[in-house]
A and B are shown apart, each in its own frame.
Chain A
Amino acid sequence: MMTNLLFILAGALVLVGLWGILTRRNIFKIIIGFSLVDTGVHVFLVAIGYVKNGTAPIFDKEYSSLHSLLNTVDPIPSALVLTAIVIGLAVTALMLSFAVRLILKNRTLLVDGKKELKW
């Protein structure tokens, strides 16, 4: 149930983010939308490995029992998410820096305020 909720949350985040990207014209809002989509995907990946009442995949005393061994949370998706978050951060930072340059050049916050490249 919990996992399903996570999946639904992930889907909702992605959709909200996409909606934001498609409908907002403010560059920063678009970037926020983009971050939402990213977060949604991260939640989705975490949900894949999630086990209800499971054990953290860390070698310690708790981990010795068979029960906990069978109910370990899958560490791979978590590792993926960590990497994805870092990459997402880099992309967002770059996007923001481009956005700043764009805004300074075009003197507008609107993403389609001034189109010099088309067709």
Chain B
Amino acid sequence: MVNPVFLIAITLGFAFIFPLFEKINPKLSRLAGILVFLTLVVIPLIWFINISNMDIPYIYSSTVGLPSNLTINLAVSYMEALVLLVVNGVGLFVYLQEAYSKESPWKGKQIILLSIVMLGANGLIITRDIFNIFVFMEISTISLFGLLSCSSDDRVFEGGFKYMLASGLSSVFYLIGIGFFYLVAGTLNLDALPDGINFTGGVLGVLWPLFLLSGVLIELKPAFANGWGMDTYEAADYSLGAIMSGIQATALIIVLTKIIPLIESNIIMPLLLVVGSITFIISHLQALGQSSFKKMLGYSSSAQIGLVLIVLGSGTNILLAIVLLLTHSVAKSGLFYTGKYFNECGSGRDKPLLVVLSSLFVIALLGLPPFPGFGAKWTLLQILGGKSDVFTIFIILLGSLLEGVYLFRWLGLKIKSDRDSGLVVSEVVPDDDAIPGYSSSDTIGVASQTGLAGLGGCIKVHFSSDSFSYHQLFPALMAVIMVVSGVVFNKGVGLTFRFLIPFSGILFFVVLDLFRVPTKFQVFLAIVASIILGFYVYPELNGFNTLFGFIFLFGIGVQFIAFFNRKGYSPGLMALTVGLLVSLISILTSKTNFQLFFSWEMMTLTSYFLVLRGDNAFAGGYRYILFSLASAFFILAGFSMLHGIFIGEYMSLPQNLLPVILIIIGIIIKFAGIGVHIWLPVSYAEAENDVSSIFSTVLSKVGVYMLFLGGLYFSKRVFKGVDTMYLLGWIGVLTSVAGSMMALFQEDIKYTLAYSSMGQVGYMILGFSIMSHLGWISSLYLVTTHMMFIGMLFLSVSGVIYRTGTRLMYQTGGLIKRMPLSFISALFAIIALSGVPPLSGFGAKWLMYSALLEKGWYLQAAMAMFASGVAFLYLFRLIHSIFLGQEKAIYLNVKEAPAPLLIPQYIFMICVMAISMFPNLLIKPLQTVIEPYFASTVRWEGYEVISALGYWNGNAVMYVTMGVFIIPLIWLLIVNRHVYKVKQFNIVYAAERPFKPETTHYAYNFFGHYQKALGFLVEPLISKFWNGTGILVNNLSGGLRRWNSGNPQGYVFQILLYVIFLSFLMGGTN
């Protein structure tokens, strides 16, 4: 076995010999460097394999050949080998990046210094001597200062000076700690501590841990004493950031794990918990307000270290802390490099590799799947949940959310198109007295929504030859290693092989993209894949899963056809869509909470990147991912308190209220309940048209699925004297009213449909919360049929947008003659959606009202009825503005929508017609699904369904309605000849000049009169609330940032304060 001392010998030897080598042959010397840094990786790898295979606890070396209690010992166990492997891997990565950099490659002293940095880090990890730790700490910081002085930014001297003061102080504290420790223990060798020594007695018992901890903790840059470190991050080169956060901080945490066992656990554990929590939250808040990318990552590193401290302090498995630490180490150093290339090149739309890599690193940092951090966080929360440690769970999830706020903001800004203003643009009708031309929202809105919006289907990302350099291979390699290790780790936590299918799907289509396979062919493959998936998965599904499996597979599979409308290449599109579909199916086949949540997060991520493909999608995607993350974290918090019992097994779940509330809140956010809905309209509207349609038809049902999965578990919980389901019912009905009302006043057709979709999901929730046979049937019935008719509507509208290039309803008109097939599809969808006879929507409403009346929820029934009346109004507006009325001159040559868009519409239409004619086609299967939960309260006679309140015969309704409509139709055809046609702008304005001609169009501000009467209902109060929250958080961040004033003496003062704070913590727990 290799002696650990070789790590030190190799690095030191290389540092000495390198200048000589370089004199002789620079090229060869650089190659020798690769060899050396590679050896540093290989040695721990050998240890790691040996330790895990041969059951030796650790590899041990006592230097100088004396007995181990007289020497400085070096030891490597499983944990150290792993950490060394990663840290040295990062070192190798930095070396390869910098020694072979195109502009200003590292030479001579920089390479020597890097070698010494590695020496320090390796020494810190393997040494077992308290004083030796001090030496290695100093070696690594001094060499870091040397590297800093070579940075290209000359502000680094200011930052470096602050760093020196701080690290000088921390080493002073550490030395004092060593002195006190020696007084107490009589030795500095961690392996030769006398047995039974009392470490806690008297003043000394407090002093040595206080100073030792202060020394190490301050070097770890904890909030609120980390400004010096952050200033250094800002000015230092990217690679130094990677070294500081990826190598040094990691090694120092290992030092901490050596000191922690010496201190009594009832002192150290709460202390670490407090220190970690403060750092985790405050550093994230400070990072949020940063404009400097490097400083943002610096704060993020500090926060991540805080998270590791929390894990160490929570007394859970130390391996979890290590996994989180190492994930952070690799992801952060990777992000420093991708960030470097990104910041040099502006927008990333034409840099697909950078986009992919940055996304992967950001996801890894946040602890989302498939990376190791995900499994580690999950296990951690399960343990904390088992201990009912709600506070720590809250801190961890809040911090993670804050981290998402700034990391996804950065990522989104890098991925957004150049035309994207980054703001939410929705066309707003100005007040009557608004000064023409000065309404900012209006001008932006029109500019971005007209014209080229229809080109949403074209290629956004293209490969350019100069975008690729072999330098990006190293980060790519790191990302691949991380994904693989993540998959292995998460498999260890509880994934089965099947949950890796999303990756193989994504990977397969990514490979197709790399080989420039045209999108059309990819779509074909995707359809084949979804059929195979259906055959493979279907036999396993039962109950609700079958129904939702049908919705996901059939819904997405049919809409794949719409993708045939795309021309050329759309890199990433099919990979993400197939990934989304497979994650949705994985959700259905999950057997444990871990599998379910894993797939849930995969779904969130794939759909997020799908949204981001839109042209103006930054704001939409940002809101989407933040609210989705919040939702996921609520669900995660709830899951952590279920004691590992699968949520689908509702009978055996624990009976406490808190997890129920948390999971329901998570679901409410996911289906965009009123109050947390602001992400939905903008993300649905700004995604590409065919993608929006998938979101609205299929993805909106996932929250509903989760409700049904938990099923009865959620019912019969009483929260402050009120049944939770009663509350949920109110949220459902209010969501449907709000969604419909807001849909009413949109000029932008996609916003109308998005709000409409939100309102319809509100009905589904209402149906679920009734908790009766009829209620559930009505809900599931709506889930199924809504998928179909909103799909028809969205695709029909997509066709219109594709042909006309505008999303604003008043700009179109009279398209019935140009696009008759789209019109018919939209008409049927509208009839179905608004719930008028004879189509399926009527059945849904009938079932819903019956269920509500049966339950005795009269007020809710009245409001639901009001909402569906409103729904009829906005749908009427839609069809009237777009298809009826007079033709616009510019659209005289518009053709019918392309076949790929029409085919799925007509497939859906056939289904809707079938269900409308024969409701039992759908309702019978639904009954069998619901049977295990509720006894049936309806019965069947032929095609007639009979409830306690009446009966519904789909067939008869169809015939009667047809009869009722045919007579007026004939009458209209007769009188049509006498109609006098009014020219389009034939409106006389009395002393009033319209500020733009569109405003004279009848379809503009169509429901202005309603808005005057009921507009107060749609005041953007909730948007204002969330904007206010955003501003509040930003201000908080700004305030916290200012704590780090940039004054070196201020920083010294903060460090002294921090030590006093630590001493209070120790005294407090003593």
Chain A positions near chain B (C-beta within 8 angstroms): 14, 18, 21-22, 25, 27, 30, 34, 37-38, 41, 44-45, 48, 76-77, 80, 83-84, 87, 90-91, 94-95, 97-99, 101-102, 105, 111-112, 114-119
Contacts and interface: CB of A to CB of B under 8 A. Distances in A.
Nearest to B145: A94
12 contacts: A34-B165, A37-B169, A44-B179, A45-B179, A91-B168, A95-B161, A98-B149, A102-B161, A115-B1047, A117-B234, A118-B1047, A119-B1046
A118 B1045 contact: yes
Contacts of A111: 161, 1047-1049
Contact of B155 (A44, A45, A97, A116): A116
Contacts of B175: 41, 45, 80, 84
B164 A98 contact: yes
B918 to A, nearest CB: 67
Contacts of A119: 289, 1041-1042, 1044-1046
Contact of A98 (B161, B183, B227, B1046): B161
B176 interface: yes
A84 B182 CA distance: 15
B795 to A, nearest CB: 50
A97 B157 CA distance: 9
B161 A34 contact: no
B1053 interface: yes
B420 interface: no
A30 B227 CA distance: 18
Nearest to B175: A41
A44 B164 CA distance: 22
Nearest to A119: B1041
A90 B157 CA distance: 17
A98 B235 contact: no
Contacts of A98: 145, 149, 157, 160-161, 164
A117 B154 contact: no
A85 to B, nearest CB: 11
B673 interface: no
B161 A99 contact: yes
B609 interface: no
Interface string B126-153: 0000010011001000100110010000
Nearest to A101: B157
B157 A41 contact: no
B159 A117 contact: yes
Contact of B164 (A22, A41, A95, A101): A95
Contact of B135 (A18, A48, A83): A83
Nearest to A97: B149
A116 B1042 CA distance: 14
Query: Sorted from nearest, which 8 A-B pairs have the closest CB atoms?
Result: A118-B1046, A117-B231, A115-B1046, A119-B1041, A101-B157, A87-B138, A102-B157, A98-B161
A38 B161 contact: no
Given A102-B157, A105-B157, A118-B1044, A18 B168 contact: no
B137 to A, nearest CB: 9
B1045 A30 contact: no
Interface in B81-101: none
A21 B172 contact: no
A119 B1053 CA distance: 16
A105 B231 contact: no
A105 B142 contact: no
A19 B588 CA distance: 66
B178 interface: yes
B165 A91 contact: no
Interface string B172-190: 1001101100110000100
A38 B897 CA distance: 80
Contacts of B1047: 111-112, 115, 118
B424 interface: no
Given A21-B1052, A98-B149, A117-B234, A48 B165 contact: no
A38 B161 CA distance: 17
Interface residues of B, number: 45
Nearest to B1041: A119
A90 to B, nearest CB: 6
Contact of B235 (A48, A95, A112, A117): A117
B135 A87 contact: yes
B158 A116 contact: yes
Contacts of A38: 168, 172
Contact of B142 (A44, A45, A48, A94): A94
B1056 interface: yes
A77 B178 CA distance: 10
Contacts of A115: 158, 1045-1047
Which of A102, A115, A119 has the most B CB atoms < 10 Å from its CB?
A119
Given A25-B1049, A117-B155, 8 more contacts: A21-B165, A41-B175, A45-B178, A91-B164, A94-B145, A94-B164, A112-B1047, A118-B1046
Contacts of A25: 1049
A3 to B, nearest CB: 11
B1053 A22 contact: yes
Most B-side CB within 10 Å, residue of A37, A94, A97, A105: A94
A112 B1049 CA distance: 8
Given A98-B161, A117-B1046, A90 B142 contact: yes
Nearest to B139: A87
B526 to A, nearest CB: 48
Contacts of A102: 157-158, 161
B109 to A, nearest CB: 13
B183 A21 contact: no
Contacts of B165: 21, 30, 34, 95
Contacts of A80: 131, 175, 178
Contacts of B1052: 18, 21-22
Q: Give the interface centre of B159, B172, B1045 by most chain A CB atoms within 10 Å.
A: B172
A117 B231 CA distance: 6
Contacts of B172: 14, 37-38, 41
Nearest to B173: A41
B1053 to A, nearest CB: 6
Contact of A118 (B135, B138, B183, B231): B231
B142 A91 contact: yes
Nearest to A92: B168
Interface string B229-260: 00100110000000000000000000000000
A91 B1047 CA distance: 20
B394 to A, nearest CB: 28
A25 B1052 CA distance: 13
A97 B231 CA distance: 19
Contacts of A114: 158
A97 B1042 CA distance: 29
B438 to A, nearest CB: 35
B180 to A, nearest CB: 9
Nearest to A94: B145
A34 B168 contact: yes
Nearest to A44: B179
A95 B1049 contact: no
Nearest to A7: B179
A95 B159 CA distance: 12
B177 to A, nearest CB: 10
A105 B1049 contact: no
A18 to B, nearest CB: 7
Contact of B158 (A83, A87, A117): A117
B158 A48 contact: no
A52 to B, nearest CB: 16
Contacts of B231: 117-118
- Most central of B175, B176, B227, B234 by chain A CB within 10 Å: B175
A37 B172 CA distance: 8
A101 to B, nearest CB: 4
Contact of B1048 (A37, A77, A105, A112): A112
B168 A95 contact: yes
A13 B172 CA distance: 12
Given A80-B131, A91-B168, A118-B1045, A48 B138 contact: no
Given A44-B176, A97-B149, A18 B1056 contact: yes
